[in-house]
Structure 1
Amino acid sequence: MATLAQTSTPDAHQRDIFLRISAHLAHETGIQSALNAVAREVAEVLPHTHFDICLLDGPGWCVSYEVGITTRWSRRRTRTEVSPVRDILTGKVSNMICTNAMEDPRQTFEGARSEPIFNHRLRSRVHVSMRVMGQLIGTLNISHNEEGLFDDASLQLTEHLGDLLAPYFHALRLIEKAQRDAMERAEVQSREEGLRHGASRLAQAFEQERQRIGMDLHDQTLADLTRLLREVKDESAPLDRYAIASNLTRCIGDLRATIEEAVPSQLELFGFAHAISEHLEKSAARVEGLTVSLRDEADEAIDEIDPMVRTAVFRITQEAINNAMHHANATHIDVTIDRARSGGLRVRVRDNGRGISLAPTDRKSGLLHMETRARLILARLDIENLGGTCVTLTLPHDVKGARP
């Protein structure tokens, strides 16, 4: 068994170790790297199987950094009320010695996050509070497999060590928090800028779409109706009621198709998969030799998300199908709805056509509209040449607006 010091004040050797610890800390800029740097010196005065610090992380929460053994304590934040060192974190006591923590009710109470104690048999444990200018910032924790290893002398050495480490780790924690806050602010600003840019692009896309619909109505439907009006007014020629009725029926069909393209009623009435299936069948009917297929491997989960997000997904999928039909010379279009490894919903449109140019200078307005819509719903859009074009839209796992 390792021999622990039996004096309450550090001797010359221990003071030299503490100086070396200070020297190590002066060169470190991160909490975990600082902990790694001093672990060997700490082991010279306090032999341990596990060594960690637990820092308060906002009201009711704490976060741990550890060396020797990696456990669940450092993988995620923990509520202070279920921490094995809650009595120190809540100010009830300033220190704690456990002869056998596996049997100590202070650490193994109901609901306690004490699995690592049992998984790694951390029997002997000594804990002290870490304070900066009188303010509690966390705890220093030393653990060993051997039972009954720590005593009052080792407790006092741990307190000396805690006093030494506290200001360093408090400063490093403040630096870490400031860096994290700065990154979060930058991310928010970037996202807001992206949304503003996306909204502007989408407004432009809406205007272009409005103009396209207007031109379609003018060049096709209005022209046909004008011609029919001239035929009806021409009293010099016999009136062919059958031809007029046939032409009117075609005009109504064209007008209905334009309306359905603008307002996806199939999507609202019957769901995403049905609406895409209808669009695929219409596409196949318009192009000779074109076959289509659809697989929904997500059990209609896409119909449970927010309607605005679902409509954007529909428009992106519709545009990908249209591109494959009009520009790829494809003979088959396949649409798959499933889940990505991240858990997020995914829609993939793949064709066997000639592929697509991905150069920025060759990007068409349709692709730009797809990218804009994807950015506005925080989705990822990937366009690849894989023996044809493959368009993959992946929604985030926690897509906002999801219905309960």
Structure 2
Amino acid sequence: MPNAVTAIDLGKILSIQRAIAGQLDFRAVIRAVSNEISGLLPHDHLDVAVLSGDNAQVAAYETGLHTEWDAETSAFKPVAESPIRDLLRGRVGHIVTDDAQTDPRFHFAGAFSQPIFAAGLHSRLHVPLKVEGRVIGSLSFSTQEIGTYGDDEVEAAKVVADVLSSYFYSLRQSELARQHELQQMEAEARAEGLRIGALHLTEELENARQAIGMDLHDQTLADLTRISRSLKRLLARDALRPGDLQPLLEEVEHCVRELRVIIDNAKPSVLQFFGFGQAVEALLERSVRADSSLLDYRLVDDGDSGIEDLPGNTLVALYRIVQEAINNTIRHANASRIDVEIGRRDGCVRIVVADDGSGLSRTSGRRYGGLSNMQTRASLIQAALSVTPHPDGRGTRLEIVLPDPPAGGTPTAPDNRK
């Protein structure tokens, strides 16, 4: 047996402790350990596996041969998939094999053992890292030779593990505390973002109320005042002539049409009567008619999105986001075309509003002044919203993603944006 080790003397233990002193991450520690013990415990690959706070997952940090076990490649993996799960669960005191490529302990249904073959590993030695009798991870040595490790190497590895366990435990607790702090900061940032967004939304609602008041004053009230004066003039006559009422009737019809526009802008009643797709199409038609520079639009509704089954307040929020996106495009993007897609993918309702306009970088900042309001509307219905340059290099693409709610619950916004 090559490089047999009967014991590790006090001097070697002290040299290991000096080498790891001040190292602040797992990889730096194992690199220092690798250099100190290479003559005592031969290895082509050395790693430390560290359990998560709930002991359900494990992340590996390695030196020597690089494998897919490393946290940079695979991050945390379920303990159930680890080839050394029995060690991590405290079922065995150590694992040693002459050839891991043929040892059935490393190969079971669902095992993440492919790196054994990819790195050409044969001899493997694994010992637990323990603190107060609890397994917090493992220390593992591997070579590309067969039959490297025996009883002496097992005992030496256990001594090294005992030296390292408390240090790795401190690093793990520090990492968990840092993750908790980051999560708390992210939660506080989300809450603050929602608070600011809700404030903007409240301001928007107040502005909308003022706009409705001005519309009613400037348009409807003016029309009704004019109609009233016309009626007074007609009543002052001794007799009505043919055609006297026709102009008055046209003014009343005009007033009704204008009032309907104001009401529809305040509450999109077309959603109730015709559904989301037709409401958006009607919005696009009005936008094209009102803006001569917008030459064309396209609406694609696959009819199988399930959007019509959403609660009324959710539909209104989605409609308002789409309305704001279309209005921003018309006012600021100098676009000749706008496309809206309503569909379903990966268990989510997805709405895309895309244009061929001036894009994010060259567009006036005013175009996205209402983005915080759109983000707030999306957050309140637990949808994800993203605004990105269009993939073809021209224009802008806005996407809203609304997951299905879990059984008996509310939807959870997805983290990623595809």
TM-score normalised by L of structure 2: 0.79
Given candidates 20, 41, 44, the residue that maps to 1:49 is: 44
Q: Which residue of 2 aligns with 1:40?
A: 35
Match of 1:195 in 2: 194
Name the CA shift for 1:131/1:336 in 2 (closer, same or farther; >3 Å). same
Hey, what does 1:235 align to over in structure 2? 235
Instruction: Report the counterpart of residue 60 of structure 1 in structure 2.
Output: 56
1:294 aligns with 2:276: no
Q: CA deviation at 1:138?
A: 1.3
The answer for the alignment partner of 1:69 in structure 2 is: 66
Alignment partners' CA distance in 1, 2:273 and 2:101: 60
How much has 1:215 moved relative to structure 2? 1.5
- Conservation of the 8 A alpha-carbon contact between 1:51 and 1:142: yes
* Structure 1 residue 203, shift from structure 2 partner: 1.0
Q: Counterpart in 2 of 1:180?
A: 179
Helix, strand or coil: the match of 2:61?
A: strand
The answer to whether 1:401 aligns with 2:415 is: no
- Checking the alignment, whether the CA contact within 8 Å between 1:127 and 1:142 is kept in structure 2 is yes
1:348 equivalenced with 2:348 (yes/no): no
Is the alpha carbon distance of 1:327 and 1:175 closer, same or farther for their aligned partners in structure 2, counting shifts above 3 Å?
closer
**Alignment partners' CA distance in 2, 1:124 and 1:397:** 50
SS class of match (1:377): helix
**Match of 1:235, as an amino acid?**
L
Distance 1:270 1:148 in 2: 75
Change in 2 beyond 3 A, CA 1:247/1:189 = same
Do residues 169 (structure 1) and 130 (structure 2) align? no
Against the structure 1 CA distance between its residues 136 and 287, is the aligned structure 2 distance closer, same or farther, given a 3 Å change threshold?
Answer: closer
What is the aligned partner in structure 2 of residue 278 from structure 1? 282
Deviations for 1:94-138, whole angstroms, at most 9, x for unmatched residues? 111112222222221222222222333322111111112322211
Q: Does 1:373 align with 2:379?
A: no
Please give the secondary structure, in 2, of the residue aligned with 1:155: helix
SS in 1 for 2:38: helix
| Structure 2 unaligned blocks of 5 or more | 405-409
How many Å apart are 1:77 and its aligned residue? 2.2
State the match for 1:314 in structure 2: 319
Give the Cα–Cα distance (whole angstroms) in 1 for the partners of residues 262 and 297 of structure 2: 24
Rounded Cα–Cα distance in structure 1 between residues aligned with 2:198 and 2:369: 12
Partner of 2:364: 357
Partners of 1:142 and 1:257 lie apart in 2 by: 75
Separation in structure 1 between the aligned mates of residue 306 and residue 33 of structure 2, nearest angstrom? 51
The worse-fitting range, judged by mean Cα deviation, of 314-323 and 156-165 is 314-323
Deviation at 1:93, TM superposition (A): 1.2
The RMSD of aligned alpha carbons is 3.7
Structure 1 pair 258–36 and aligned structure 2 pair: CA distance change class (3 A)? farther
The SS at the match of 1:334 is strand
C-alpha distance in 1, partners of 2:273/2:18? 70
Identity of aligned residues (%): 32
1:62 aligned partner, one-letter code? V
Q: Secondary structure at the match of 2:16?
A: helix
Deviation at 1:396, TM superposition (A): 6.5
- 2:407 maps to which residue? none
Structure 1 contact 5–153 (Cα < 8 Å) conserved: no
- Contact 2:321 2:374 (8 Å CA) reproduced: yes
Q: Distance in 1 between matches of 2:202 and 2:136?
A: 51
Which residue is equivalent to 2:336?
332
The residue that corresponds to 1:79 in the other structure is: 78
Unpaired segments ≥5 residues, structure 1 = none
TM-score by length of 1: 0.81
Q: Secondary structure at the match of 2:50?
A: strand
> After superposition, what is the alpha-carbon deviation per residue over 1:235-267, rounded to whole angstroms, capped at 9, x for unaligned?
124373322332222222222222222223445
Structure 2 counterpart of 1:8: 6
What SS is found at the alignment partner of 2:117? Answer: helix
Residues 275 and 308 of structure 2 are in contact (CA less than 8 Å); yes or no, is this contact kept in structure 1?
A: no
Counterpart Cα distance in 2 of 1:37 and 1:266: 69
1:196-235 residue CA offsets vs partner (Å, 9 max, x unmatched): 1111111111111011112112211232123223323441
2:369 counterpart SS class: helix
1:148 is aligned with what amino acid?
G
Moved more, 167-176 or 237-246: 237-246
Code of the aligned partner of 2:217: H
In the alignment, is the contact (CA less than 8 A) between 1:84 and 1:112 conserved in 2? yes
Q: Distance in 1 between matches of 2:315 and 2:35?
A: 56
Cα distance change, pair 231–304 in 1 and its aligned pair in 2 (3 A): closer
Q: For residue 33 of structure 2, what is the amino acid of its counterpart?
A: V
Instruction: Indicate how the Cα distance of structure 1 residues 309 and 113 shifts in structure 2: closer, same or farther if over 3 A, else same.
Output: farther
CA deviation after TM superposition for structure 1 residue 374, in Å: 1.5
Give the letter for the 1:71 counterpart. E
1:155 is aligned to 154
- State whether residues 321 and 349 of structure 1, in contact with CA within 8 Å, keep that contact through their aligned partners in structure 2: no
